[in-house]
Each structure stands twice: as C-alpha cells, then as structure tokens.
C-alpha cells in the first residue's frame, strides 16, 4: 500500500490506497503503522467482506482462495469491488527456491474463464525462471 503510493507519485499519478487484510491483527498493525490511512485498512475475507465503495483498481493474487474458488473470487471482485470501467490486476509470484518456481500463467487463467485480457507482463530472474506474472482485465463501463 505504502510502496504503491510512493511509486505512483514518482510516475506522476496520485492514488488513494485502500487495503483488505484477512488477519485482523495485521490490519490493526497496518493501521498503527500508517495512521494517515487507518480508515482505509480493513479486515475481512474477500469472498464475504462488503466494500464501502467501488474501486477503480483492484490488485489481488489467486493464492488467497482454494483452487476451486478462484474463478468465483474473480467474478466477485469484478462485480462487487470494481467501479464500472475499473481494472482488476491479477498477480502471481514464483521463487527460484520453491519446488515449482514459475509464477502461474494468470493471463491464461483469466482467458480460460472467459475474460478479455487488457494487458499482461512478466519478469524473470537471472536464471530465466519466470518469477512474476501480471495480467489485467477491465470491467465494462456500463
């Protein structure tokens, strides 16, 4: 939340960050550490929490839900979290230290679920192992 705010400002963009944390004690710690945003840091489960407003951008990872609920999470975020015309940004990270180091093919997954990919990118480490994949899809404006 803090880094994204700073990086965006460096690129000439001003964002109003919000955060949802599954673990209440971590949300409380974040509120204490970032008092200027304490009213924007929430505790809850993405599948049941009701956002107080709709967002222009939502960034998430699939690891937050079991595999059989992933498509449902994407549907819920697009329907209940994003403003019309908003963008859902889906990330996956790997590590050269994990048994399966490659990041998941998030663009392919979104495409398989019937979503139009508005963009995608990836990055590899020095061993050419894909460690970061990002794809995004947009909610229709109406």
pLDDT value of residue 127: 75
d(CA 127, CA 94): 13
Domains of the chain are: 1-44 (no CATH), 55-141 (3.40.50.150)
Does the pLDDT of residue 96 top 80, yes or no?
no
Q: What percent of the chain has pLDDT over 70?
A: 95
Higher pLDDT, 63 or 40: 40
pTM, full prediction? 0.89
Please give the distance of CA 95 from its chain centroid, rounded to a whole number.
Answer: 18
pLDDT digits (tens, 9 = 90+) for 43-54: 999 999 999 999
Asked if pLDDT for residue 107 goes beyond 90, the answer is yes
Helical segments of 12-124, H only: 24-33, 70-76, 106-112
Q: How confident is the model at residue 131 (pLDDT cuts 50, 70, 90)?
A: confident
């Amino acid at each position: 939340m803090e880094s994204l705010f700073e990086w965006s400002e460096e690129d000439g963009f001003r964002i109003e960050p919000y955060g949802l944390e599954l673990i209440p004690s971590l949300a409380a710690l974040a509120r204490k550490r970032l008092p200027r945003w304490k009213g924007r840091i929430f505790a809850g489960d993405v599948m049941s929490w009701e956002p107080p407003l709709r967002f222009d951008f939502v960034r998430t990872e699939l690891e937050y839900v079991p595999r059989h609920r992933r498509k449902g999470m994407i549907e819920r975020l697009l329907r209940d979290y994003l403003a019309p015309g908003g963008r859902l940004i889906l990330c996956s990270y790997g590590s050269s230290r994990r048994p399966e180091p490659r990041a998941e093919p998030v663009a392919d997954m979104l495409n398989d679920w019937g979503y139009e990919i508005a963009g995608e990118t990836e990055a590899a480490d020095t061993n050419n192992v894909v460690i970061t994949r990002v794809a995004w899809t947009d909610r229709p404006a109406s």
